[in-house]
Structure 1
């Protein structure tokens, strides 16, 4: 189930809600009971460990050599 992040305009708190995608545009109530909230744009960062012998290391460059850098 997707997690959405909101900020309360009344008290300034930021909070998260797990809700179905079909409810993503529905109003959200702050944990302190305020109704004046706004949904925030959240980004997801996925970090991994690259192999030093992988294709990008062998061909070099920022994009595996495809851009000619």
Structure 2
């Protein structure tokens, strides 16, 4: 399984803001995307990013995460 949060983090500049979303062309599903939130929380605990917003669907599944790169 690919680490979507780390892929987005590596492409960002310090201070940059981005949305992390599942990409169906790369095989992501909403179910598999839930692991991206766990990965983003680990990056936040390390002080590398700030999770600004978590967007959820009506059924509670996360469909987008907005992050800001701190380091």
Q: Given the two structures, how large is their TM-score scaled by the length of structure 2? A: 0.24
Choose 1 or 2 for highest CA Rg. Answer: 1
Q: Which has the higher contact order (CA 8 A, sep 6+)?
A: 2
Structure having the higher strand fraction is 2
